[in-house]
């Protein structure tokens, strides 16, 4: 739990609040569903606010599309894996046996519950600071032209359409301490003689960046 709080960048004054946020409904009545409901609302507001400030000329439809990308379950599950959240979840026996700690929906719900717990304990300003830090690279890489599908998905579909092997991602280097690591990832594809490299504070974001660079070299992006 201490390692998780370091990764989150927030230490709970009441550890039981974090325990509740990590408790799936399969453990019983004391679970994270109410915190998840609250965190979902706060996340939508904070990301909407950040997009409103970042894109001053964007239309409502553009902002809605970008927000949907950032708050969807897949993105939240990625963030959960960056925190290595799965190993800290409290699950009932059935969920444990079925691999619930790896399920995207459970991971995403836990992130929302943690946001709700931070808000209740520390208020909106602290919650905003943490959420924007977690989303820093994702927000920085967004443009109004950012497609609905991420670069990894588009690269995979492009290669499949040409019956080429799927891309291979390799971690070339990891720098920094556990709570502040920087990953260098290579993306290898059969259509290019050399891989593309990218760096980010999470492996998955680095993979997306390297995939975007490959698409650019292939003339797709």
Q: Which of 78, 95, 112, 150 is catalytic?
A: 112
112 assigned to active site: yes
Catalytic residue of the set 40, 78, 95, 196 = 40
Residue 93 marked as a ligand binder: no
Please check if 157 is assigned to a binding site.
no
Q: Examine the residue annotation and report whether 164 is marked as an active-site residue of this protein.
A: no
The answer to the question of whether 137 is labelled as a binding residue is no
Distance from C-alpha of 36 to C-alpha of 21, rounded to nearest angstrom: 8
Instruction: Give the E-state strand segments of the chain in sequence order.
Output: 168-175, 182-188, 196-200
Q: Are 93 and 99 in contact (CB under 8 A)?
A: no
Q: Which residues pair with 184 in a beta bridge?
A: 173, 199
Phi, psi of 166 (to 5 degrees): -70, 155
What does the alpha-carbon distance between residue 130 and residue 9 come to, in Å, rounded to a whole number?
Answer: 7
- Residue ranges for the known binding site are 36, 109, 112
- Residue ranges for the known binding site for Mg(2+) are 36, 109, 112
Q: Which residues are catalytic?
A: 40, 112
């Amino acid at each position: 739990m201490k390692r998780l709080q370091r990764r989150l960048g927030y230490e709970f004054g009441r550890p039981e609040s974090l325990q509740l946020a990590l408790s799936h409904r399969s453990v019983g009545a004391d679970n994270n569903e109410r915190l998840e409901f609250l965190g979902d609302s706060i996340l939508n507001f904070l990301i909407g606010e950040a997009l409103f400030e970042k894109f001053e000329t964007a239309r409502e439809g553009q902002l809605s599309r970008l927000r949907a990308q950032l708050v969807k379950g897949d993105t939240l599950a990625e963030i959960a894996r960056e925190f290595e959240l799965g190993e800290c979840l409290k699950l009932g026996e059935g969920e444990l046996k079925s691999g619930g700690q790896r399920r995207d929906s459970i991971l995403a719900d836990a992130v929302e519950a943690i946001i709700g717990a931070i808000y209740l304990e520390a208020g909106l300003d602290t919650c905003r600071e943490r959420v924007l830090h977690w989303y820093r690279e994702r927000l920085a890489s967004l443009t109004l032209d950012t497609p609905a599908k991420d670069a990894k998905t588009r690269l995979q579909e492009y290669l499949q359409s040409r019956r080429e092997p799927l891309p291979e991602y390799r971690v070339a280097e990891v720098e920094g301490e556990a709570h502040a690591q920087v990953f260098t990832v290579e993306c290898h594809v059969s259509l290019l003689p050399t891989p593309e490299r990218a760096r980010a504070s999470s492996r998955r974001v680095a993979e997306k960046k390297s995939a975007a660079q490959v698409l650019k070299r292939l003339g797709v992006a």
